[in-house]
A and B are shown apart, each in its own frame.
Chain A
Amino acid sequence: MGGDVSGLIEQKALAPRANLPIPLYDRIADYMSQHNCRKICSPFVVLLIWEFVARIGWVPDWFLPAPTLVLETLWEIIQSGVLLEHTCASMQRAVVGYSMAAVFGVTLGLLIAWSKLLEDIFDPLIELLRPLSTFALIPIFFLWFGIGETSKIMIIFKSCFFPIALNTIAGIKGVDSKLIDAARSLGANKCQIWVHVLIPAALPTIMTGLRISTALSMMALVGVEMLSSESGLGFMVIDAQRTFDTELVFAGIMVLSIIGFSLDRIARLVERKMLGWHVETSLGGA
């Protein structure tokens, strides 16, 4: 919050200069105001220290390669197409597993919130399976689905499914019953209440489940690719480690971090676009 206030003050101070012929400069200066500047600088400072430590030779290259070396490797795998190949393989698994989890999770969540019978049937199952580590299921999945794509997708599915389903249930159950009364008094029937009240009111919670699951899908993906795979970013990293190609390990980790960060940003963007009314009323909008 404090950052926002200082940002506001900054804007005010810059306001009289808005008519000068270089508005772009102003815009950049505004953007780089203290608050944003600190945020952008902090990773760079860490990189600089890292570079320094690596360069003065305190640690060997195979232990901690300098960022510039990592970037060089990154550039190489971008040019040779290796990176693209592995990224595609990974993203394909992630997208398929995640989409299935989203569709089934939201559907089952809605059904459970709708029917007491289904709740009684599925609730104990969910409570038993949910706390189970995804990786504890890997051996079983390998047994059932082989070590091909299916088991990898199923593992990603498992790690995303529960947060999505549970958030959907919690979202629907958390809707203010007075809001339903208001809709009923205006003449809404059961079906209309679902479409016009319950689902829109629960959407912020459902979206949260969908958003946190993007990160979970990446975690599960890397894990399973490290265990058994011939392709994918997880495989690329673990394979590089086996051949002591530490630069490639770091390059892969960097790519994974960028992908994870971008996915979260995209999810936030979608959330903001879809739920403008909610984001602005909640702390998330600050």
Chain B
Amino acid sequence: MNPEESQLESQSIIIQAKGVCKTYTGRKGESVRAVAGVDLDVAQNEFVAILGSSGCGKSTFLMMVAGLVEKTRGELLLEGDPIVGPDSRCGVVFQEYLLFPWKTVRENIAFGPDLRGVKKSEIQERTDHFIKLVGLEKFKNCFPHELSGGMKQRVAIARALANEPKVLLMDEPFGALDALTREAMQTELLRIWHETTCTVLFVTHSIIEAIYLADRVVVMSKRPGTIKGTLAIDLPRPRTHELTSTKKFHEYEKELRGMVWVEM
């Protein structure tokens, strides 16, 4: 691949959402508008954070991109193809980890390639690679219940990556972790992202997490969710946590806080 071509590719849009809506039908037949017209373009290899208050429809939007929830209206494209169901180009990391408790760390990570009929030797190689990438060599034969929360989330990330997706969808992946583990995992995620170069769509409640991780932060309004505004984060990479105490970081933080609070 020549430099020009890769330049072009990194500019190209990978996810395209146009007026995406979702209306759930509640148990009593009432309709709940969760997402009302989201427009969003995500470029290849971009790291986009979606910021919004609880219940504003972030998960719903992400699950629609993942093809796990059907959209009510609008257009949703992945590399130009309409999203109609789960797609192996999208890897999902859920907030609740959702590891398979009867499979070891190794088997959990090998599950995706295994389902898709990848050759045994190749699966072996890939699993080893991703176990190493998330630093769980010592625990590869453990069951999920023998791991800590941070370790489980790392397995979940490795499991999604083992399918070699182009897009990684992460739904508040560090929401259940304590503050210290959370910071460590953020740095870890950035390292992994640098090594694998994929597009990331990252849902979070935390303004600081969004700025620290993302190239661009998208703020969602209260339910029914729409996009309130976006903010490009122009901070050098690779990033370290010292960055969070710089002046520029604080300015971004203030700006985002303003955008979020207007909403309240």
Residues of chain A having any CB pair with chain B under 8 Å: 176, 178-179, 181-188, 192, 196-197, 200-201, 203, 275-278, 280-281
Contacts and interface: CB of A to CB of B under 8 A. Distances in A.
A275 B98 CA distance: 18
Interface in B80-104: 85-86, 88, 90-92, 94, 96, 98, 100-102
A197 B108 CA distance: 12
A200 B116 CA distance: 19
14 contacts: A182-B92, A182-B98, A182-B100, A183-B111, A183-B115, A185-B67, A185-B160, A187-B112, A192-B115, A196-B115, A201-B102, A275-B102, A277-B101, A277-B143
Interface of B: 63, 66-68, 85-86, 88, 90-92, 94, 96, 98, 100-102, 111-112, 115-116, 143, 145, 159-160, 163
Contacts, number: 66
Contacts of A280: 143, 145
A65 to B, nearest CB: 50
A185 B100 contact: no
Contacts of B100: 179, 182-183, 196-197, 200-201
Sorted nearest first, the 4 A-B pairs with minimum C-beta distance are A186-B112, A182-B98, A185-B92, A281-B145
Given A183-B111, A192-B115, 18 more contacts: A176-B98, A179-B100, A181-B94, A182-B100, A185-B67, A185-B91, A186-B115, A186-B160, A187-B88, A187-B163, A196-B111, A197-B100, A203-B102, A275-B102, A277-B101, A277-B145, A278-B102, A280-B143
A34 B163 CA distance: 53
Given A179-B100, A196-B111, A277-B101, A186 B163 contact: yes
Contacts of B90: 185
* Most chain B CB atoms below 10 A, which of A192, A196, A275, A276: A196
A286 to B, nearest CB: 14
Contacts of B88: 186-187
A198 to B, nearest CB: 11
A202 to B, nearest CB: 11
A188 B94 CA distance: 17
Contact of A187 (B96, B98, B115, B143): B115
Contact of B86 (A178, A187, A275): A187
A184 B68 CA distance: 8
Contacts of A183: 100, 111, 115
